[in-house]
A and B are shown apart, each in its own frame.
Chain A
C-alpha cells in the first residue's frame, strides 16, 4: 500500500487562435471602444429615443433630461417609457471636467471628446466605423477561406444535445479541461455566433439607416427597421447589448484563467489544463 506521488502532468500547449483572428480581434475591440464613446457623444446631441420614422416627444422610448426641482436645484431625470428615474450625477445631469453641473445625457468621462462637441464625435465615429467594417470584412474573408466558422464556431450535435449540462457547469464556474478545453464550449460558440453574425451586422445596418442618402439608395432599410428613429433606437440597443457582451466576455476571461486567455489572444498559444489522471484500471 505505497501511495505513489504522481507529479502533476505538465499542461499541454495548443495553438488556439490564428494570426488573422488575433489581429482582427484586437482591432475590433479598439474600434468598438471608440465607437461606443463617440456614439454616446452623438447621442448626447439629442438624448431621446423614439420608434417610427419621426421624433414624437410625447411618445419617447427613452430620454435623459436636466429638470429643475421645486426647491430650485437641478436633477438629472432618465425616463424609460413612462417611468422616471432620478439619475442625477450620471445621466441627464452631471459634472463636467471643471466640476460644473452640466445638463447632458451621458457624463463627460464616458464620451469622446469629453466636452460637448458633436462635430468631433462624428469624425471619430465615422473613421472608426469604416475601420470596424474593413476589419470585419477581413475577418469574414479569413473565416470563409479557412473554415474557421465551421471548425471553431459551429456547435456540434453532441454539444447542442448537452447544452443544459454546459449551462449548469457555467453556473458553477466549472470550466472544461483536457480534450474538451481544446474547443469552445457550446454557450461560447452560440454567443460568438450571435455577436458576429447578429449584433455586429445589425448595428452597422441600423447605423446606415440613419443616413438620409442610404435611405434614398436603399429605401427597404426603413421598412426593415420601422423607420429612421426606430433604427436609431435599435442602434442604441445593439450598442448596449455589445457592451453587456464585452463585460461578460471579460469577466469570463478572468474567471477561466486571465493570463492564459489573454496570452492566447496575443501569441495564439493556450495551455490546456490536463484532466484528472484516471486512477487504476
Chain B
C-alpha cells in the first residue's frame, strides 16, 4: 500500500517535472521563433504611441539636487575603447577630436570639442535607468541638440538621428544608436562632455556621450563620433536602429 502510494506520488512528481520541462521548452522555442517574436513585439508600437500621447514634447525628466548624486555611477557596456585612433586622440586630450554631423542636413558640420563647448549648453542632474534595472544619478553638462540641429538645418525628409560611436561591443562592429526627432529636439537631449563637473572619463564615454533622459540607458550612446540624419535606419547594420536593438531589444526604450 505504502509503496504503492509512494510510487504514485513519484509518478505524479515525475509527470509534473516532465510536463513543466515540456512547457518551458515550448516557451523557449516560441521565444526563438521570428514570427512569434513579431507578435510579442507588436506592443512596442502601442507603448510608444501611448507614452508619446501622455508625454508633451517638452515634459522634462525629473532633475535632482547635488545631494542626490550617486557615490558610484556604474559604467556599463563598453568601459574602454580599443580603437587606436581613439586612444591616440585621448593621449592628446581629445584636442584633435571631431564630431561630424552629416547625412540629410543642409550644412554638414565638423566640430572640435572646443567649438562644441561654446554652443548653447545645458546642465542637468538626472537619473540614469539601465535596462537591467539599476539606476544612478549623475550631473551632465553638454551642448543641446536642438540648436545644433537648427544650425546645420535638417532636410525635410530627415526622420532620425543615427549616432555612430568609437567603441566596439561584442563582435558585431561599432556601437551605434538612433533617436527620432521628438527626442532629438527635446530640451534635455544633450551631447554631454562633462559629468559631475569634470570632463567625461573613458568608462563614461569620453569625450562625448548622448543624454536622452526619457529613455533607458542603452539609448545614451557613448564615444559619439558622427551624427547622421536619415529618413530610415532600415538599411543600416542590422536594420533595427541600434547595437542592442539588433540583438533583440526595443528601439523605443521609454519603459
* B43 adjacent to A117 (CB under 8 Å): no
Asked if A112 and B27 sit within 8 Å, CB to CB, the answer is yes
CB of A216 within 8 A of CB of B31, answer: no
Residue B11 lies at the interface, judged by CB distance under 8 Å to chain A: no
Within 8 A of A (CB), among B30-59: 31, 37, 39-44, 46-47, 51, 54-56, 59
Task: Name A229's contact: one of B43, B135, B214, B215 (CB within 8 Å).
Answer: B135
Chain B residues with CB under 8 Å of A48's CB are 134
Contact with A along B61-105 (1 / 0, CB 8 A): 110100010111010000000000000000000000000000000
CA–CA, A232 and B134, complex, Å: 9
* Contact pick for B51, options A127, A213, A228, A229, CB 8 Å: A213
Task: List the A side residues contacting B215 at CB < 8 Å.
Answer: 212-213
List of B residues within 8 angstroms of A126 by Cβ:
40, 43-44, 47, 255
Q: Evaluate contact between A211 and B133: CB separation under 8 angstroms.
A: no
Task: Say if the beta carbon of B198 comes within 8 Å of chain A.
Answer: no
* Cβ A215 vs Cβ B135 within 8 A: no
Q: Whole-angstrom distance between the alpha carbons of A46 and B216 in the complex?
A: 15
Could you say which of A147-155, A194-202, A217-225, A260-268 contacts chain B? A217-225
- Determine whether the beta carbon of B54 is less than 8 Å from that of A113: no
Given contacts A127-B40, A216-B55, contact A45 B28 (CB under 8 A): no
- A212/B27 in contact, CB under 8 A: no
Q: Nearest CB to that of A228 among chain B residues?
A: B135
| Contact, CB under 8 Å: A43 / B247 | no
Q: Tell whether A45 pairs with B132 under 8 Å between CB atoms, given A53-B127, A216-B214.
A: yes
Q: Across the two chains, which residue of chain A brings its CB closest to B247?
A: A119
Q: Which of B197-255 contact A (CB under 8 A)?
A: 213-216, 244, 247-250, 254-255
| Most chain A CB inside 10 Å of its own CB: which residue of B37, B41, B54, B132 | B132
Cβ-defined partner of A212 (8 Å) among B64, B133, B214: B214
A-B contact count (CB 8 A): 130
Given contacts A53-B127, A211-B254, A217-B59, contact A127 B135 (CB under 8 A): no
User: What sequence of 0s and 1s flags, for each residue 41-57 of chain A, a beta carbon within 8 Å of any chain B beta carbon?
Assistant: 01101101000011111
A108 CB to nearest B CB, Å: 8
| Pair A217/B250 contact, Cβ less than 8 Å | no
**Docked pose: A219 CA to B126 CA in angstroms:** 13
Partner of A232, one of B133, B137, B214: B133
| B130 engages A46 (CB within 8 Å) | yes
Which B residues touch A219, using CB under 8 A?
Answer: 62
Q: How many residues from A make CB contacts under 8 Å with B?
A: 42
The SS class assigned to the A binding surface is helix
Which residues from chain B contact A37 at a C-beta distance below 8 Å? Answer: 27
Residue among A42, A117, A119 making CB contact with B133, cutoff 8 Å:
A42
Cβ B127 vs Cβ A45 within 8 A: no
The smallest C-beta distance from A54 to any residue of chain B, in angstroms, reads 5
Q: Are B43 and A130 in contact (CB under 8 A)?
A: yes
Residues of B near A112 (CB, < 8 A) are 24, 27, 31
Q: Quick check: is A109 within 8 A (CB to CB) of the other chain? A: yes
Please, which residues of chain A bring their CB within 8 A of the CB of B60?
216
State A197–B128 Cα separation when bound (angstroms): 32
B interface footprint on A14-56 (CB within 8 Å = 1, 0 otherwise): 0000000000000000000000010000110110100001111
| B28 touching A115, Cβ below 8 Å | yes
With both beta carbons as reference points, the residue of chain B lying nearest to A113 in the complex is identified as B31
Give the residue of B47, B54, B137 whose beta carbon is less than 8 angstroms from that of A217.
Answer: B54
- Contact between B39 and A54 (Cβ–Cβ < 8 Å)? no
Query: In the complex, how many angstroms separate the beta carbon of A220 from the nearest chain B beta carbon?
Result: 10
Minimum Cβ distance to chain A for residue B65 (Å): 11
B54 touches A54 (CB 8 A): no
A56 and B71 form a contact (CB under 8 A): yes
The answer to whether A53 and B68 have CB atoms under 8 Å apart is yes
Contact residue among B42, B43, B51, B137 (Cβ-Cβ distance under 8 Å from A214): B51
Q: CA A42 – CA B132 in complex, angstroms?
A: 7
**B129 close to A (CB within 8 Å):** yes
Given contacts A53-B64, A126-B43, A126-B255, contact A213 B132 (CB under 8 A): no
Write the nearest CB–CB distance from B40 to chain A, whole angstroms: 4
* Complex: A112 Cα to B44 Cα, angstroms: 19
Q: Confirm or deny: B136 has a beta carbon within 8 angstroms of a beta carbon on chain A.
A: yes
Smallest CB gap from A222: residue in B: B62
In the bound assembly, the distance between CA atoms of A214 and B62 in angstroms comes to 11
Q: B149 at the A/B interface (Cβ < 8 Å)?
A: no
Is A68 engaged at the interface, CB distance under 8 Å to the other chain? no
Cβ contacts under 8 Å, B20 to chain A: 109
Contact with B along A118-136 (1 / 0, CB 8 A): 1110111011001000000
User: Does the CB pair B132–A216 fall under 8 Å?
Assistant: no
| A and B contact pairs by CB, cutoff 8 A, 18 listed | A53-B135, A54-B136, A56-B71, A108-B24, A112-B27, A113-B31, A122-B249, A126-B44, A127-B40, A208-B255, A211-B51, A212-B216, A212-B254, A213-B255, A214-B255, A215-B62, A216-B59, A216-B214
* CB-based closest 3 A-B pairs: A213-B254, A119-B248, A211-B255
